[in-house]
Structure 1
Amino acid sequence: MISKDVKASPRGLLIDDLWRIRKVGTPLLSPVGDDLVYHVSAADIAENERYDLIVLLSGETAAKTVLGKGTVHAWSPDGSRLIYENEHGELHIYLIAKATSQFLVQRYGSSYFINHLAENNCIWSPDGKYIAYLSADIPDSKEEEHNGICVFDDLLYKSKGGSGRPVYADRAYTHIYLIAAEGGSPTLLTPGNFNEHSITWSPDSRHIAFISNRTARPDDIQQSDVWKVDIASLEITRLTEHQGLAYQPKWSPDGAHIAFLATSGSIGTNDSPAEDTHIALISSNGGSFQYLTKSLDRRIEHIRWHPSGKYIFCTAGDHGDTSIYRVSSVGEKVEMVRGGSGCISEFCLDAIGDDFVFVKSDSNQPAELFRSKNKGTIEQITQENSELLQDKTLQKAETFWFESFDYTKVQGWLMLPVDFEQTHKYPLILVIHGGPHNMFGHDFDERMHLLSAAGYAVVYVNPRGSHGYGQAFSNGTLLNWGGGDYQDLMAGVDFVLDKTPWLDPERLGVTGQSYGGYMTNWIVSQTSRFKAAVSDGGLSNLVSFAGTSLYHSLMESEFGGRAYERFDELWKWSPLRNVAQATTPTLILHGETDNEVPFSQAEEMYVALKKRGVETRLVQYKGEGHGWRPELSPSNKADLNARMIDWFDTYVKTTSNEQ
């Protein structure tokens, strides 16, 4: 197994370092030169907030200009201007030569949640004359609050709450608007009682393709198609008629085709589908479409056309790595072109399509920007975390494979404690990912390093249900939450304990967020081998979850139909059903305004464990929604991690770690 002879320096990641981590993303290269704009997510200790800075990097001088807080959307076709959005939803044009900004138009947002891959983008027309953008209906200032009484007649009446965002969805539809790049009054292109998202221009600047769910019951039926609108006549044409979901269309350079991501399942979900997305290609006039990436059998994301139109580039996860692939637009030939080690989360192409700028991280390296040049040379562009890391020792996770109970091969990773010495016995923490179809791998996760610095070895596994191993493996949780995936996790723990003599099998802890929180709850209801558990945003009762979550469609997708027809099956796989067997001290962490996994899920588990007499504590974070996302206030995130470590220190570190 894993063996180290050299003691690492005891300078790991600490709670106070969370403020200092800077996260890069959204690289956009100028269409005519080497100027680059990107985002840097940073934290403000005084204001207790995390925000995105827009950074412009000059290709000639390498000088950096911070345009402000907000979101950058697109370059003008001639590279002379940028369109960006500030914190207040105002679209501005930044003039490169003059280094000044001018207001363009106010954009409005809706709290209605469409789906997890919907793009809320703004794009410049190829001829440079117009900017198309998405905006919600203008709020009605005359609308009354009804004296605090809320009346619902929509199925998706909840929103993604947290950090000051509304708890309930508004009734504002999001539409496509057009405005002259030089300013003026915007034109509404897509009126009606539907939502549009994920827009792309035709190369001749005459049409905009978009995604919309225009079924009879869009709140209930998670299906969507590709549409297009003629900007002169305002005629709207449906291009696809398929069973499934469509995402993120991209018009081909010659205007003949539109590529998009698609699934084909009869029961869709707005959250975490088991079905992998694939690139589909359709004529720009509509009709049947073909899939281009089924032969890869991996989940496809972030599609970009090569300027020649011969290829489409995309990212896909495979065995814990996320790489850039090149896909032939006239066949199904797929080949990796960048990556193979680490996780590339986003990328863009230069004007001629030869070089990439991409965001990449590794298990011991936060995400930074890199550029591939001269057909292979890789140059690191940003050093946002070099100052933080110069006096830190972050352990690199090492991968392993094992056979599960049914001989299925499963991948996992083991991270050593920062102060590792082979003569010591170390406690082990099992960390479980969310989804259930997420993927662990060679990516940077703060939790692992905080635990490593606190003296723990950390094991994490991609049990069946994880993506990155093919569709059959991703389907592993269907009708079977807590079945094969639970056994995979236990087999992974047993494997590392058997192969690693410096681990103490009597000092085990377990934690996870979202689905990982569900699995943590499930584990404490199945076994007493763990000395402590920390459940973060976890599910406990799939029956009540199906009726209270923003993602009620997830239960239908995972269990094959309406929840009320499958209550017995949902209860069978609910941790609450077996809570009478639980004895593990359990810390439950949850956001007050979490509508994805409602706070009531934490309450049900907490009350049951308390009545069972199990040592349990429930911590609610006021105003917080779901997940370890950037919008979680830095102070709350620090508190959450500190409580996790303290809980494990109290209940797992109960004996000396030396023999």
Structure 2
Amino acid sequence: MISTEMKASARGLLTSDLHKIRKVGAPLLSPVGDDLVYHVSVADDVENDRYDLITLLLSDGTKTVLGRGTANCWSPDGTALFYETESGALQIHTLQPATSRFLTQRSDSTYFFNHLADKNCIWSPDGKYIAYVSADISTSEPENEAIRVIDNLLYKSKGGMGRPVYADHSYTHIYMMPAAGGSPVLLTAGTFNEHSITWSPDSSYIAFVSNRSARPDDTQQNDIWKIAIHTKTITRLTEHTGLAYQPTWSPDGKHIAFLAVSGAFGTNDSTAEDTHIALISASGENFRYLTKSFDHRVEHIRWHPSGKHIYFTAGDRGDTSIYQVSIDNEEVIMVQGGLGSIFEFCLDTKGVDLVFTKSDTNHPAELFKTKNHGADIEQITRENAHWLETKTLQQAETFWFESFDKTPVQGWLMPPVDYDQTQHYPLILLIHGGPHNMFGHDFDERVHLLSQAGYAVVYINPRGSHGYGQAFSNGTLANWGGGDYQDLMAGVDFVLNKNQWLNAQQMGVTGQSYGGYMTNWIITQTARFKAAVTDGGLSNLVSFAGTSLYHSLMESEFGGRAYENFDLLWQCSPLRNVAQATTPTLILHGETDNEVPFSQAEEMYVALRKRGVNTMLVQYKGEGHGWRPELKPHNKADLNERLIQWFDTYVKAIAT
């Protein structure tokens, strides 16, 4: 553990600082002014819990915390706010007078659609109705607690935070009720799920996403549909191969925009194929993509009030910025960017200025607002200012190198806190998950914790990462542990050659999820790393394909049914080469992880121990997958203390 003396004098980030980090997100501007609501994600060290605080900031500077939960939307006239409490109660908060009233109770199914599915609640544009997505739990048959009968493929749910680890048998449907209060009306029914709803501007229709194929558990494909709220007539609007996400109606009612991918093998996890903006007419005609030529992964789409442009975020070489695309000529231009990562944003009513969340290497996400048509930027929140004043965090320097096949690859190097170039320091290779995630100018707690502990940290976006075009993102397809592994090794060699203060004899490797897979893969390919820490990692792709909530990921990544590709899946499995491993390895894993089941950790652990490798397995009871932003604060601190202690034992202890 870190000594008291070190904690008192530390300039970098310590595990005892983790619960102080407050993460700001989900900004919603009032439709008639500058009133703003947003979330603050808080880690409570006393309660050993995490939760979101709904925070209301009025234009006069008055700030009110409405409680724990989720802000959904403003009323069209800006006089009230629609929100949901932690318990699922849908409520309306009026500004004048400041009161809250209960509307109804919303139920949530544990069935997992995909990462971009939105179980949202929205106010009709005419102000008369509230529409929301809720599960019909009351209509599902009670289960025998001693016997579990499984007759579907997506029978597992996302574990952790006390959530059930098995999906229930309810269906998620669209409900509507008067905003003034009254009884909810079920708009959709049957044996299909609906989610991700959006109102037409005339308040007559609701568009939504649904998978109504013959085998929705097996076929990861879905489409956009709409329902007439008065007749309950449902119309299918799209019929394309692939997945659709998050439809949003244009202000003039003529179009519906949504995110889409077109792969024949879809997955409820992240795909190699970048999401792009698709556009259809309100009647479902003239399907076309708007951003294919942009060649980057598109997220968070918002219509400009004019209806002529769509704003969105996209990652590009480590930065995530706001762009706009014209629906007429498909021209894309950057609206707000620079070094850093913009996650969410909203436009003011005139479509002139923005409110957005942004983080960079040394600052967790805060809210910012543009002024004077984007000429000026004002920071709205300073949730982390107090504790940051006590720290002097290191900056990460980006670099580019040519990989084995001349492909340009980007990485970052962060030195230890208070490093001296005349000294030598150990190096940790940190690998991201996905495999289609992206490192960049974002606040990563692991990097700063390791920097404070005396390590340099190198992190790289190998092929498979998004932000570098579709061809680069496709770089891992049917070849996990191939070119991506070689990219990582070439990047490590590059920084060692360029920075003589790094000690090539003192190196460790760690990663989470796919980064955990790659950590397992690396220790079966090379002995150059003196220690490894695998967090929520895969070890056997054959067994993963039959036990994971994301069994469709193997189909998407390897182009077919798992049973048709067992030889290839085994070839890409770290377990296949475990007899070559000698690296001391710490394996960290959540007990209720259904995304990468705990058995993946057990298979690697048992094999390494049988091999005689110094290995330890740590299971976090009740926790789900990965480096978990929702991880219980005490478990999160323990996980990071163990990671640092393992490297201190097996990396720093190596004689230089």
SS at match of 1:534: strand
Amino acid of the structure 2 residue aligned with 1:601: Q
Deviation at 1:113, TM superposition (A): 0.2
Deviation at 1:379, TM superposition (A): 0.4
SS at match of 2:359: strand
Match of 1:215 in 2: 213
Match of 2:524 in 1: 525
Match of 1:314 in 2: 312
Give CA deviations for 1:461-502 in whole Å, capped at 9, x if unaligned: 000000000000000000000000000000000000000000
Match of 2:173 in 1: 175
Deviation at 1:506, TM superposition (A): 0.3
Deviation at 1:332, TM superposition (A): 1.3
Measured in 2, the distance between the counterparts of 1:524 and 1:98 equals 63
Return 565-574 or 93-102, whichever deviates more. 93-102
Amino acid of the structure 2 residue aligned with 1:382: T
Deviation at 1:350, TM superposition (A): 0.5
SS at match of 1:26: strand
**Is residue 139–residue 170 contact of structure 2 (8 Å, CA) maintained in 1?**
no
SS at match of 1:564: helix
**Is residue 318–residue 468 contact of structure 1 (8 Å, CA) maintained in 2?**
yes
Deviation at 1:139, TM superposition (A): 3.0
Deviation at 1:627, TM superposition (A): 2.1
Counterpart mapping for 1:351-366 below 5 A: 351-366=349-364
- Aligned with residue 245 of structure 1, among 243, 246, 250: 243
Match of 1:73 in 2: 72
1:345 paired to 2:355? no
Q: Percent identity?
A: 75
Give CA deviations for 1:205-244 in whole Å, capped at 9, x if unaligned: 0000011111110000000111000001100000001000
**Is residue 206–residue 232 contact of structure 1 (8 Å, CA) maintained in 2?**
yes
**Is residue 261–residue 280 contact of structure 1 (8 Å, CA) maintained in 2?**
yes
Match of 1:396 in 2: 395
Measured in 2, the distance between the counterparts of 1:227 and 1:330 equals 24
SS at match of 2:137: coil
Give the CA RMSD over aligned residues: 1.0
Deviation at 1:394, TM superposition (A): 1.1
Counterpart mapping for 1:90-489 below 5 A: 90-140=89-139, 143-375=141-373, 376-489=375-488
Measured in 2, the distance between the counterparts of 1:67 and 1:10 equals 35
Amino acid of the structure 1 residue aligned with 2:125: P
Measured in 2, the distance between the counterparts of 1:498 and 1:120 equals 50
Amino acid of the structure 2 residue aligned with 1:645: I
Match of 2:37 in 1: 37
Measured in 2, the distance between the counterparts of 1:187 and 1:147 equals 31
Match of 2:553 in 1: 554
Match of 2:23 in 1: 23
Measured in 2, the distance between the counterparts of 1:46 and 1:569 equals 48
Measured in 2, the distance between the counterparts of 1:560 and 1:340 equals 37
Measured in 1, the distance between the counterparts of 2:322 and 2:475 equals 26
Deviation at 1:144, TM superposition (A): 4.3
Measured in 1, the distance between the counterparts of 2:295 and 2:610 equals 47
SS at match of 1:281: strand
Amino acid of the structure 2 residue aligned with 1:32: V
**Is residue 240–residue 288 contact of structure 1 (8 Å, CA) maintained in 2?**
no
Deviation at 1:656, TM superposition (A): 6.6
Match of 1:3 in 2: none
Amino acid of the structure 1 residue aligned with 2:336: R
Deviation at 1:147, TM superposition (A): 4.5
Measured in 1, the distance between the counterparts of 2:371 and 2:226 equals 36
Amino acid of the structure 2 residue aligned with 1:218: P
Measured in 2, the distance between the counterparts of 1:541 and 1:492 equals 26
Deviation at 1:98, TM superposition (A): 1.4
Measured in 1, the distance between the counterparts of 2:189 and 2:329 equals 37
Measured in 2, the distance between the counterparts of 1:386 and 1:195 equals 43
SS at match of 1:148: coil
Deviation at 1:63, TM superposition (A): 1.6
1:535 paired to 2:534? yes
**Is residue 158–residue 169 contact of structure 1 (8 Å, CA) maintained in 2?**
yes
Counterpart mapping for 1:641-652 below 5 A: 641-652=640-651
SS at match of 1:611: helix
Amino acid of the structure 2 residue aligned with 1:39: H
Measured in 2, the distance between the counterparts of 1:67 and 1:199 equals 25
SS at match of 1:240: coil
Amino acid of the structure 1 residue aligned with 2:346: C
Measured in 2, the distance between the counterparts of 1:111 and 1:396 equals 41
Provide the TM-score with structure 1 as the length reference.
0.97
Give CA deviations for 1:159-215 in whole Å, capped at 9, x if unaligned: 001111001000111011001001100011111111111111000000000111111
Gaps of at least 5 residues in structure 1 are 1-8
Measured in 1, the distance between the counterparts of 2:624 and 2:10 equals 34
SS at match of 2:532: strand
Match of 2:636 in 1: 637
1:572 paired to 2:571? yes
Deviation at 1:146, TM superposition (A): 2.1
SS at match of 1:412: strand
Match of 1:5 in 2: none
Measured in 2, the distance between the counterparts of 1:628 and 1:589 equals 10
Return 130-139 or 450-459, whichever deviates more. 130-139
Measured in 1, the distance between the counterparts of 2:395 and 2:302 equals 31
Match of 1:512 in 2: 511
Amino acid of the structure 2 residue aligned with 1:292: L
Amino acid of the structure 1 residue aligned with 2:211: N
Provide closer, same or farther for how the CA distance between residues 205 and 144 of structure 1 changes in structure 2, counting only shifts above 3 A: closer
Amino acid of the structure 2 residue aligned with 1:653: K
Give CA deviations for 1:341-395 in whole Å, capped at 9, x if unaligned: 1000000001111010000000111100000110220000000000010010111
Provide closer, same or farther for how the CA distance between residues 278 and 147 of structure 1 changes in structure 2, counting only shifts above 3 A: closer
Deviation at 1:544, TM superposition (A): 0.1
Match of 2:5 in 1: none
**Is residue 10–residue 419 contact of structure 1 (8 Å, CA) maintained in 2?**
no
Measured in 2, the distance between the counterparts of 1:423 and 1:324 equals 41
Gaps of at least 5 residues in structure 2 are 1-8
Deviation at 1:630, TM superposition (A): 2.9
**Is residue 212–residue 224 contact of structure 1 (8 Å, CA) maintained in 2?**
yes
SS at match of 2:600: helix
Measured in 1, the distance between the counterparts of 2:554 and 2:446 equals 28
**Is residue 463–residue 472 contact of structure 2 (8 Å, CA) maintained in 1?**
yes
Match of 1:52 in 2: 52
Measured in 2, the distance between the counterparts of 1:350 and 1:337 equals 14
Figure out how many residues of one structure are paired with residues of the other and give that number: 647
Measured in 2, the distance between the counterparts of 1:331 and 1:241 equals 24
Amino acid of the structure 2 residue aligned with 1:453: Q
Deviation at 1:295, TM superposition (A): 1.3
Counterpart mapping for 1:585-604 below 5 A: 585-604=584-603
Measured in 1, the distance between the counterparts of 2:486 and 2:626 equals 25
Deviation at 1:34, TM superposition (A): 0.4
Provide closer, same or farther for how the CA distance between residues 301 and 147 of structure 1 changes in structure 2, counting only shifts above 3 A: closer
Amino acid of the structure 1 residue aligned with 2:53: L
Measured in 2, the distance between the counterparts of 1:323 and 1:128 equals 33
